[in-house]
Structure 1
Amino acid sequence: MASILRLLPLLLLAGAANAATFTITNNCQFTVWAAAVPGGGKQLGNGQTWTIDVPAGTTGGRVWARTGCSFDGNGNGRCQTGDCGGVLQCTGYGQAPNTLAEFGLNKFNNLDFFDISLVDGFNVPMNFLPAGGGAGCPKGGPRCDADITAQCPAQLVVPGGCDNACTVFKQDQYCCTGSAANNCGPTNYSRFFKGLCPDAYSYPKDDQTSTYTCPGGTNYQVVFCP
């Protein structure tokens, strides 16, 4: 038991070394309420930054911007886009439409897997890049610089963003569910998103051109309105 106790601090240090620091910056000309799971939430004015440490081994991680928010002194309120249950400190995912930075840390072969997803629609442009040049990251990181809202098809326009076809039409071909679960392909709506942001997921099976990897322990930068 004593030998195990002596090793424990070393094991903890090794785990801590693989944690990832995410630096989230708002370059939009308007206030956003950044959200992260895990991480919570923070109001960011133009040029402001929020830094969070994400534990090694995290799966299903997300970072996104919320817009048009109003919160009271207890952190309760609502957002026009990206709302996460009416609270400032998110513990659950946001409501569409929202541009998503998605990630899983220290997965297969101790690699981080990450992407930008427009599967839940779009609300602000975003870059999701490895910090420090991304040594060991074959493709760098995804960018979605376009203002998709300004060009959104009329059927998908919602206040503050451009919604996804699954949410709007609730059909298997757009949601990759039911009869389309196993052979889901791009649609005219997903091609619209892909044409403006080629690095990003445009529908749930859009893996080949949209998944990025870095060695475990890499730090990341998420920039809104880059």
Structure 2
Amino acid sequence: MTTLSASLVTLFLLSIITISHATTITVVNNCDYTVWAAADPGGGKRLDKGNTWNVNPAPGTKMARIWGRTGCNFDGNGNGNCQTGGCGKLVCNPGNWGTIPKTLFEYALAQPNNPTDTIDISLIEGFNIPISFSPTSNSGSLSGKCRTLRCTADINGQCPRNWKVPGGCHNPCTTQGIGTCGANGDSKFYKQRCPDAYSFPKDDQSSTFACPSGTNYRLTFCP
């Protein structure tokens, strides 16, 4: 086989591998209000009720986030501010993860040393919108670690007064640097209401989930 032929075969095989492990995350707004979704990588998009947005991260993407922004106003150039989660633009710049408080979905797609996607919902930066996150394909079993995750409690309505801000609820042990972090600290308020979600930084055991590489997902605001 010539060098050129071998190279073409290699490229073809790599393309098959890439396609077979491609991931699509469908973001759905089921809220009665507009949500300006943000993703890193991915940018941002306005979602009125019932609208969807497909985020297509590259294989091997890690340290990735998706969140919702509320109460936003943008000018014709896409610059502006939001009541919660804002990054200063409609399409957020890479590495600009928005203001707190906000409900976060975090993920890392399969790596060479880890054949599974790692996923979680995080309330470490507080809460602004109820969400759920579900595998929609190729979920497998993984001992129950690949399943729908939810944080749907009325946290904004139940938020302690000194944590409350317009449109959201702080997690004081992390966002304000006060109180105590841990299973029995102030973060217990969140853990009791959203047991699937991270409520403090070392809450890995009960809050980190995994799905097979190539799984597609659906993230729903106000499920």
Normalising by the residue count of structure 2, what TM-score does the alignment of the two structures yield?
Answer: 0.90
Contact 2:117 2:213 survives alignment (8 Å): yes
Q: Amino acid of the residue matched to residue 93 of structure 1?
A: W
Percent same amino acid among aligned pairs?
Answer: 51
Match of 2:221 among 216, 221, 224: 224
2:114 match: secondary structure: helix
Separation in 2 of the partners of 1:104 and 1:201?
Answer: 16
What is aligned with 1:89?
91
Q: How does 1:29-44 map to 2 (within 5 A)?
A: 29-44=32-47
Separation in 2 of the partners of 1:167 and 1:33?
Answer: 24
Q: Alpha-carbon deviation of 1:166?
A: 3.7
The answer to whether residue 202 in structure 2 is matched with residue 205 in structure 1 is yes
Separation in 2 of the partners of 1:124 and 1:133?
Answer: 27
Match of 2:125 among 86, 99, 120: 120
Separation in 1 of the partners of 2:221 and 2:105?
Answer: 10
Contact 1:126 1:222 survives alignment (8 Å): yes
What is aligned with 1:74?
77
Match of 2:169 among 138, 162, 169: 162
What is aligned with 2:160?
153
Q: Alpha-carbon deviation of 1:172?
A: 8.6
The answer to whether residue 102 in structure 2 is matched with residue 105 in structure 1 is no
Specify every segment of 5 or more residues in structure 2 that has no aligned partner in the other structure, as ranges: none
What is aligned with 1:190?
187
Contact 1:16 1:55 survives alignment (8 Å): no
Normalising by the residue count of structure 1, what TM-score does the alignment of the two structures yield?
Answer: 0.89
Match of 1:144 among 151, 154, 159: 151
Residues 48 and 192 from structure 1, CA distance in 2 versus in 1: closer, same or farther, beyond 3 angstroms? Answer: same
Q: Amino acid of the residue matched to residue 89 of structure 2?
A: V
Structure that is richer in helix per residue: 1
Q: Amino acid of the residue matched to residue 102 of structure 1?
A: E
Give the number of equivalent residue pairs.
215
Residues 16 and 119 from structure 1, CA distance in 2 versus in 1: closer, same or farther, beyond 3 angstroms? Answer: same
For the aligned residue pairs, the C-alpha RMSD in angstroms reads 1.7
Specify every segment of 5 or more residues in structure 1 that has no aligned partner in the other structure, as ranges: 175-184
Q: Alpha-carbon deviation of 1:126?
A: 0.3
Contact 1:21 1:53 survives alignment (8 Å): yes
Q: Alpha-carbon deviation of 1:186?
A: 3.0
Q: Amino acid of the residue matched to residue 210 of structure 1?
A: S
What is aligned with 1:24?
27
Residues 162 and 44 from structure 1, CA distance in 2 versus in 1: closer, same or farther, beyond 3 angstroms? Answer: same
Separation in 2 of the partners of 1:72 and 1:167?
Answer: 32
